[in-house]
Structure 1
Amino acid sequence: MDCNKVSDFVYPLSDKPAKFEYKLVNQNGKLAEVPLHKEYQRLSLFEEKQPFCQQEVTAECLESTDRTVAAEHTHENSRKRNAGDDDSAERDSMISCEDITSSDTDSNTQVSASSRVHSYRTNGLLHPPTKKRLTSGYDSIGSASFQVESPGSMSTAIVPGVNSNMSTVDVSDNGRDMMANMQSQVSTSHSLGEGINDNNNNNNNINSNQTGNLVRDQLRRPKTPNTMNSPSQTPVSDMEEDPIQQLPLPSPSASPIQSDHENDDDVSSETPRRMGQRLNLEMIESHMASIPSTQAELINTIKHLSQFLSPQNQNHLIFRLLQKTNRSSLSTFNGLLHDSLKRDLLGNLPIEIAMKVLSYLDADTLLSISEVCKKWFKIINNTALWANLLKRDKLITDENVIKYELSDTTELLSEWCTLPDDINPAQVLYKKRRMIVNRWLDPKFKPKRISVKGHGNKVVTCLQHDEEKIVTGVDDKYILIYSTQTGQLTKVLEGHDGGVWAMKYYKNTLVTGSTDRSVRIWNMATGKCTHVFRGHTSTIRCLDIITPSVIGKDAHGEDIVFPEHPLLITGSRDHNIHVWRLPILQEDAVDEVTFDSGESENPYLIAVLTGHTQSVRSLSGYGNIIISGSYDSTVRIWDLLDNGRCKHILQGHQDRVYSTAIDFDRKVCFSGSMDSTINIWNFETGELLKVLEGHSSLVGLLALVDGVLVSAAADASLRIWDPATGDLRSKLRGHAAAITCFEHDGLKVVSGSEKMLKLWDAQRGEFARNLLDDVTGGIWQVRIDYKRCVAAVQRVNSADEGETYIEILDFSEVPNFQS
């Protein structure tokens, strides 16, 4: 490369002029920045016309001057524009710019040449005027006349800007000396208030026309504020008139101050308004009666007089004082204000309100803010708060379960808590339940698995489990009970002569229905059949247990509980429904004699509900209401408080009804049919509220839990619905064959079909994981609780025969925090 060759490269924008120019404004750092000034202007000083009791000081004496100067200034600008004087307009613009960018000095004691109140100063101390009436409280172009009494003499200063009606006043020798001295100090300033006549003539007179000319001259001059350094560091004598600090003044209104002697002859006729004016004037006079001799007294006088200002002008006074404060002091004030404005938004609230506020937060947020301080930790470490969160997040929705879990927390705290002993057990319970739910939905987590072989090649028709036992019914007339913890077979219940197709237990009492047309009651602790109920003439296809529940309030506001004792309802292919009183069996019962009775002499039989014309396929009961679905394509509503009378026959399905669900609180029920639809009914009125469409085949399964309605169909899909509106929330697709079983708890859905057992996130409506990957046959039944999934599955062996297993998946393993 030739280094001597001149480069043809042209640097971009090299000849372009700079568009922006940096200019340091307000080097001293005082409170005069343009943005802050504009922001402060929003604290408007413009006030409505008020009586003196609210706005004690007026600016009426400034009004005429302001209007005159403004008019003449406008007329002058108009004359120059008409004459084509562009230079003049440009100078005006430059002056305005200089006004905006001007700044204060570092001196703590400054005197602006535009000050309009010239007071007598001795030893660095300002003496306020003692004139009986204040005629101006605003910092404006015009200035008022004040009388200043000094020891031994009386002098009056005439301030420029006063209208022509104000009289000329003589100034004594001492006063002239003082005025001349002050005028010499500010002679270099070109502020609006400049114009004090320095003529030493004892009969010095300034008329209003001369004053107006001086004011107009000053409007055309650039302003350059000067400072007066005071070694005594005393308060500033006058308010500066730097344009950047001068805020817009309110339009003066008619002064409420009238003659002091008006209506003296008739004091009793004073109006409240005039009385307030007079009292305020008297209070001001009392505060100004004595001349402050120290700075402390001066500060005290200013403090008392400031109470007569309106709120807007109190802000104005504070702002003006802050304008004269250096950066170091402003920094100190900022820290004090910041600390004083701090509020404990949570700790200062009543505990009831604090709990209400915290109830809207999620667990992660609560844990974060509990680390703010000990007080917040104590508030958040509350049993009621975390119990409510357990219910809101659907981790535990039953109040009784929460009470049971918290009744003995020794094991809970030792296994699931690593924090000090003062942590609330309800918070640890929430942590435990949330961790277990997260494990369910985490594909990487491997639950503890137990596989139990026990039924041969028989089909498991029904399944139920709890913390201690797993109970299964099959189509070969046996009922088997396994240990939930180990999977070991503990009992085999024999007695039925046909396959078991319906089963449910309550506490220690197990109820089974069979193809032998009988209903049997078993003591699960002993494995003995205690009762045999006969009366149905065909297979018991479905059953339900109704436990005592609150169904309303009586006239005295007391809870109405029904039924008084648990009831058993059974549905059969004989078209009928039987209602029985359920025997409650004790675990320690021995040598029980089996009760076996027919329908006519059975004391446990309460009612026989007839009306369906085909097989009863589904039953759902709560309180006094029974919902039945039948192959006759109808849904019937039965009221046990009305002797089991059929209240409504719900007709709307076009084919067999296979599934039902009830929402007692909202007085609605749901039914799924072979016509691939789901109907929502009002069981109080019998009205069909809505038809849910979307499935393309038999809707054989329905489940409503904690405000979540899930349907499963033979079209290999599941759907999640909003039971209140009927809106479809999610479609769950992934199975390759008809759904044979499913269960959900509002947070998660487990569904089974041929060779598949899948888990879904019910809140998001998404597929989470496959729970079993080695299933080679069908999934007969599946049941879940918060910690376990129990499924009856079929595997094909080497002889190409199916073999049934019970699979137990446990997600509740105690965490090893040390690792």
Structure 2
Amino acid sequence: METNKKTNTFQYPLREELAKYEYRFTDPNGKLSDASLHKEYQKLSLSGTDKSHQNPITPTTTTTPVVGVTSNGGTAVSSNTQRENSRKRNAGDDDMYDQKSLVSSGYDDDTSDTDNQSQVSSTAMVTSHYRTNGLVQPPSKRRLTSSNDSSVTSMVPVPSYQMESPGSISTAPVNNHPITTNFDQHSSRHPRTPNAINSPSHTPISDIEEDPIQQLPLPSPSASPIQSDTEMDHDRIMNKSTTIETVESIMSNEPTTQSELMDLITNLSGFLSPKNQNNLVFKLLQNTNRSTLSTFNGLIFNSLKRDLVSNVPLEVTMKILSYLDYKSLLSLAQVCKKWFEIINNPDIWIKLLKQDKLVTDEKVIKYELANCQNLMKEWCTLPGMNPAQILYKKRKMIVNRWMDPNYKPNRISVSGHANKVVTCLQHDDEKIVTGVDDKCILIYSTQTGQLMRVLEGHEGGVWALKYTGNTLVTGSTDRTVRVWNMNTGKCTHIFRGHTSTIRCLDIIHPTVIGKDQNGEDIVFPEYPLLVTGSRDHNIHVWKLPVVDDISFTQEPFDEEYENPYLIAVLSGHTQSVRSISGYGNIIISGSYDSTVRVWDLLDNGRCRHVLQGHQDRVYSTALDFHSKTCFSGSMDSNINIWNFETGELIKVLVGHSSLVGLLDLVDGVLVSAAADATLRIWNPKTGALLSKLKGHGAAITCFEHDGLRVVSGSEKMLKLWDVEKGKFARDLLSDVTGGIWQVRFDYKRCVAAVQRVINEDEGETFIEILDFSQPLIK
């Protein structure tokens, strides 16, 4: 016996558990029809007090006799009601039924019964009619109609606010027939006190908790229109009659098989209240063994899972996904098709492209996605992917290739500069433009390295170079500025005016610099401007002549004294202008006179501030127009941060031990390179030092960064650094035997001008092209 008991306890782990509130058995005497009307009670609780509902449904019960007044002044009880009462008495609940009817009337058994007992008070009977299991329901408003030659009975409308207090007799004349109160003889022989729930000051808490139907607020009697009550009462009575008939029909068929028994239990469970349905399930689970409970546990656990990604508004979903990196997004996309469709949204990947600094220019993103045929063909390996996600995949894979020391990019070495120094370099997907100190400008093919053009015209070495579109601008030691059409290789304009070498230049494009009084954008300049700085201490501002693709056959424009392209001459520096940074209407210039000057082109080029703070020559500058700050690097080893609106020196960045010859500000990252063979990464807003990059053996001669990577060159070294980690990533070239003159890179390629030493007296300069963008699908 003990063994069996232990076995049973093991097999039925819920056998000894007690039912809790949510699934405790409640209301054992509740009628089966009450559960089917539960939803109707809920509708009443919501709409009963709202007068805008014209046809609220007031549920009724059919267990109370319908009493009316006959033509001879007596009372009549419907035959259906008599049969129902007889059935209840046979079932053994007659006493309870009488008690509920008595209490519902609002009286106690001590009331005098001296009036005619054949007449029943309509007030008491109507109230009894609308109380079921202690629940008061609003009486329907039905007009009492009778005629002398008709025995048809009808109900009397008695609103609840007309009921008298317990112990009194209520009379109301209806069609000249007084209505008096009469009680069941059985009840009068057995006096009882009313239930506590019917007392105006005593409401049992336990009953309210156990019977959810009793908690529902009931509507005011005035909420139901009189004109539709007859039809509504008829529908309610028929609805309840149908419910009882359905129960009786189900019970009439005695089950003989397992299937019939299951159908019987299933059908009857629908007439239970929700809490009792839970209790039925609990009773069944108490007799269930551990193995079956384990199966149910898995089923229930899976059904309770909620999709937090797709079950919230799309805006919330997008906000949640914006905090995830690409690896997490790709993992989520593999969960199900619905998540795949959500994560395949182009907006997510476009935002991630900018967030991860893979593409920060909106114009570049639009251009790539507008011409995405090759993108999808070369990088898409799965069907159904959106172009924005493929663009992210392409850019991310290329970045990873850069950082992988084991990846070998496609390399092209181009000779042709002899042993000359490359002073300036710029490139794009089609061409590489180099300026050297031997008067020539060379243009190479980026794809093949083939020499495409040689631009000749300068009489001295080229020390400054920049192009936009098809227009190239160069500055030389011959004191002239030349404009070239790179498609034709012809010089279109010669600007004279400087009296010494043009050492630096910049091109300012039209941009939005603010809002006017009407809230409209202020765009300045109206057309591209060319700004040149010279060793003659002056800065010249020119209107940039943008050349077209038409072959230029005339002689180049060459006017020195009446040049219509010259806009302003900015004078003030007392020594050579070494660096220029321009944006919108602001020009920042750094000079060997140890000062930085701020020029405002909207104010006719007036010098707004002379920024004094450096102790030696200024070699480099950078500008952040939107934060109204500028940066300057000097031979005094310091980097100064200025507010160019007020002229205030915000902070001095100390750390380098030698000349800070190079500064570059991109995407909120400031990088400096110095002659002390180190590079430093700074936070431009706070001035905090983020990283110190050490590894070069000599002064840094050139560098560039894009917010993700830094490429720097020095004697015999070309190195790659990871900006985010602040660490060395790899050597891009390992066979350099001379200096690195210039380096430029984009997301695809790195282009560097390097020197290879043949012997002590001879060497040769090469252009090295490193391509990291080989397609994934060839």
Q: TM-score range by the shorter chain?
A: 0.5 to 0.7
Indicate which of 445, 451, 467 corresponds to 1:489.
451
Matched, 1:27 2:2: no
Provide, for residues 608-641 of structure 1, a one-character-per-residue CA deviation record: whole Å limited to 9, x for no partner: 1122222111111111111111112111111112
Give the Å deviation of 1:300: 5.2
Give the Å deviation of 1:366: 2.0
What are the residue-to-residue correspondences of 1:575-586 with 2, within 5 Å?
A: 575-586=537-548
Change (3 A) 1:117 1:658: closer
Name the counterpart of 1:565: 527
Aligned partners of 1:322 and 1:330 also within 8 Å: no
Name the counterpart of 1:791: 752
Aligned partners of 2:660 and 2:675 also within 8 Å: yes
SS of residue in 2 equivalent to 1:27 = helix
What are the residue-to-residue correspondences of 1:139-538 with 2, within 5 Å?
A: 151=91, 258=196, 260=198, 262=200, 299=269, 302-303=272-273, 324=286, 326-327=288-289, 330=293, 334=297, 337-420=300-383, 422-538=384-500
Aligned partners of 1:620 and 1:662 also within 8 Å: yes
Name the counterpart of 2:701: 740
Name the counterpart of 1:596: 558
SS of residue in 2 equivalent to 1:620 = strand
Aligned partners of 2:379 and 2:777 also within 8 Å: no
Give the Å deviation of 1:335: 5.1
What are the residue-to-residue correspondences of 1:58-207 with 2, within 5 Å?
A: 151=91
Provide, for residues 447-468 of structure 1, a one-character-per-residue CA deviation record: whole Å limited to 9, x for no partner: 1111122122211111111111
Indicate which of 545, 570, 574 corresponds to 1:613.
574
Aligned partners of 1:31 and 1:322 also within 8 Å: no
2-side partners of 1:753 and 1:588: how far apart?
41
1-side partners of 2:408 and 2:503: how far apart?
37
1-side partners of 2:501 and 2:457: how far apart?
16
Change (3 A) 1:799 1:691: closer
2-side partners of 1:727 and 1:523: how far apart?
44
Provide, for residues 286-328 of structure 1, a one-character-per-residue CA deviation record: whole Å limited to 9, x for no partner: 99x999875779745641787xxxxxxx99x699657635247
Matched, 1:702 2:663: yes
2-side partners of 1:119 and 1:453: how far apart?
103
Change (3 A) 1:709 1:153: closer
Change (3 A) 1:572 1:149: farther
SS of residue in 1 equivalent to 2:567 = strand
1-side partners of 2:395 and 2:16: how far apart?
57
Change (3 A) 1:26 1:660: farther
1-side partners of 2:485 and 2:355: how far apart?
36
Indicate which of 609, 618, 622 corresponds to 1:657.
618
Aligned partners of 1:30 and 1:323 also within 8 Å: no
Give the Å deviation of 1:643: 1.6
Give the Å deviation of 1:32: 6.5
Name the counterpart of 1:680: 641
Indicate which of 502, 505, 515 corresponds to 1:543.
505
2:11 aligned partner, one-letter code:
N
Give the Å deviation of 1:695: 0.7
Aligned partners of 1:639 and 1:645 also within 8 Å: yes
Aligned partners of 1:476 and 1:498 also within 8 Å: yes
Provide, for residues 483-525 of structure 1, a one-character-per-residue CA deviation record: whole Å limited to 9, x for no partner: 1112122211111121111110111111111111111111111
Name the counterpart of 1:135: none
Change (3 A) 1:296 1:669: same
1:303 aligned partner, one-letter code:
S
Unaligned runs of 5+ in 2: 1-5, 31-63, 65-87, 97-194, 203-213, 221-238, 252-264
Give the Å deviation of 1:777: 1.1
Give the Å deviation of 1:409: 2.0
Change (3 A) 1:296 1:760: closer
2-side partners of 1:504 and 1:747: how far apart?
24
SS of residue in 2 equivalent to 1:338 = helix
2-side partners of 1:302 and 1:635: how far apart?
88
Normalization by structure 2: what TM-score? 0.68
1-side partners of 2:754 and 2:358: how far apart?
28
Aligned partners of 1:703 and 1:711 also within 8 Å: yes
2-side partners of 1:556 and 1:322: how far apart?
75
1:467 aligned partner, one-letter code:
D
Give the Å deviation of 1:379: 2.4
Provide, for residues 18-58 of structure 1, a one-character-per-residue CA deviation record: whole Å limited to 9, x for no partner: xxxxx989413333789xx9xx99x999xxxxxxxxxxx9x
1-side partners of 2:546 and 2:399: how far apart?
34
2:689 aligned partner, one-letter code:
L
Aligned partners of 2:15 and 2:286 also within 8 Å: no
1:657 aligned partner, one-letter code:
V
Backbone CA RMSD of aligned residues? 3.8
SS of residue in 2 equivalent to 1:498 = coil
Provide, for residues 759-791 of structure 1, a one-character-per-residue CA deviation record: whole Å limited to 9, x for no partner: 111111111111111111111111111111111
Deviates more, 1:730-739 or 1:324-333: 324-333
1:388 aligned partner, one-letter code:
K
2:738 aligned partner, one-letter code:
G
Name the counterpart of 2:692: 731
Aligned partners of 2:712 and 2:719 also within 8 Å: yes
1:522 aligned partner, one-letter code:
W
SS of residue in 2 equivalent to 1:636 = strand
SS of residue in 1 equivalent to 2:457 = coil
SS of residue in 1 equivalent to 2:198 = coil
SS of residue in 2 equivalent to 1:348 = coil
Deviates more, 1:648-657 or 1:465-474: 648-657
Unaligned runs of 5+ in 1: 1-22, 46-56, 58-114, 121-131, 133-147, 157-256, 265-275, 307-313
Normalization by structure 1: what TM-score? 0.64
**Structure 1 vs Structure 2: percent identity of aligned residues?**
67
